[in-house]
Amino acid sequence: MFPEHRPRRLRTTPAMRRLVGETTLRPRQLILPMFVAEGADAPRPIASMPGVVQHTRESLRKAAVDAVNAGVGGLMLFGIPKTRDAAGSGAVDPDGILNVALRDLRSELGDATVLMADTCLDEFTDHGHCGVLDADGAVDNDATLRVYAEMAIAQAEAGAHVLGPSGMMDGQIGVIRRALDEVGLSSTGILAYSAKYASAFYGPFREAVDSQLKGDRKTYQQDSGNAREALREIELDLAEGADMVMVKPALSYLDIVKAAAEISPVPVAAYNISGEYAMVEAAAANGWLDRERTVLEVLTSIRRAGADLILTYWAAEAAAWLD
């Protein structure tokens, strides 16, 4: 008798496929990144990210509640200030847009979701880098750490449950952990953007936050060809006190996600970033891809690689589909 082995038996009906499915994708595993713009009087569309907007404080509240009702596991907030300076002072100001919006959402949602904040200066600096610059115009690691410590306290005090340091400065997790603990904010968690690559796929995000960056971030974000370096970054962040670690971007780095999942004793997140979103949206808008099927396949593949959590602009919509 040939064929002797028939794996297709386990694919015969939807019920059979459901029974033997290896990978789960649940709404609680999805985190929705959201943008809020200071002084905006109406939500502003982001052209390269169809369906994503820069929110006003009011529209943010409403969209956040809707996302939580759809079942997402958490929200990750980014602020777009009206004015920027070299020091990124809007980031540490309790009245800065990101901190104000955190307070809005915490008072609206309490502990009904996990509220996260991007702990990074690039939205707040007039040069667009993730840190402050030294006299030669290079990103000054240790001077930046001092600002991150202050920014972290401001965000935690404003109501963030979890901080997401995304600037790839050496020592950022340790400095933030210590700063929080020193002022009694020891229950605020840290989701470390541990392995973050200098990626062309961040393109649409630059539009989303009106980035002022000229040049690139290659002195702090990793080269795309490096894998071993990612594991070192993850180990350092764990040693410094990270509660969760992240790999970013997701799709071109699924091998890194898998390697991270193999060594990490804490939850691993992957960020399905703006360019990954834009590619699918553009192709779907042209009728070249089936949007819903493609999105679910993308998210499932990130889970299959080993990510416990996925940051994705599709979080609320996908949560509704999965429900």
Nearer to ligand PBG, 216 or 262 (CB): 216
- The answer to whether 214 is a known catalytic residue is no
Nearer to ligand PBG, 27 or 79 (CB): 79
Tell me whether residue 218 is one of the annotated catalytic residues. Answer: no
Cα 132 to Cα 54, 88, 237: the distances in Å are 25, 8, 21
Q: Name the minimum Å distance from CB 9 to ligand PBG.
A: 41
Q: Looking at 3-11, 36-44, 117-125, 232-240, which segment touches ligand PBG (CB under 6 A)?
A: 117-125
Shortest distance, position 12 Cβ to ligand PBG, whole Å = 39
Q: Which is nearer to ligand PBG, 130 or 231 (CB)?
A: 130
Using rule CB under 6 A, residue 104 touches ligand PBG: no
User: Shortest distance, CB of residue 116 to ligand PBG, whole angstroms?
Assistant: 11
What number of CA atoms fall less than 13 Å from residue 284's CA on the CB side?
15
Residue 166 binds to ligand PBG (criterion: CB under 6 A): yes
Cβ contact 38:80 at 8 Å: yes
Q: Considering beta carbons, is residue 43 or 275 the nearer one to ligand PBG? A: 275
Asked if residue 281 binds ligand PBG (CB under 6 A), the reply is no
C-alpha atoms less than 13 angstroms from C-alpha of 199 in its C-beta half-sphere: 22
Of 82, 218, 248, 258, which is the active-site residue?
248
What are the Cα distances from residue 239, in Å, to 74, 143, 170, 265? 25, 22, 13, 11
**Residue among 35, 124, 197, 205 that touches ligand PBG (CB under 6 A):** 205
Compute the least distance from the CB of residue 217 to ligand PBG, in Å.
6
Give the interface size with ligand PBG as a residue count (CB under 6 A). 10
Overall residue count recorded for the chain in this entry: 323
Question: Of these residues, 196, 214, 218, 258, which one is catalytic?
Answer: 196
Q: Is residue 274 at the binding interface for ligand PBG, with CB under 6 A as the rule?
A: yes
CB of 307 to ligand PBG, least distance (A): 15
- Extract the tokens encoding 297: 């396949």
Query: What's the rounded Cα separation, in Å, for the pair 89 and 92?
Result: 6
Closest separation in Å from C-beta 128 to ligand PBG: 9
Stretch that binds ligand PBG, among 7-15, 114-122, 147-155, 233-241 (CB under 6 A): 114-122
202 binds ligand PBG (CB under 6 A): yes
Question: Which residues of the chain form contacts with ligand PBG (CB under 6 A)?
Answer: 118, 120, 122, 130, 166, 202, 205, 217, 273-274
Q: Catalytic site residues?
A: 196, 248
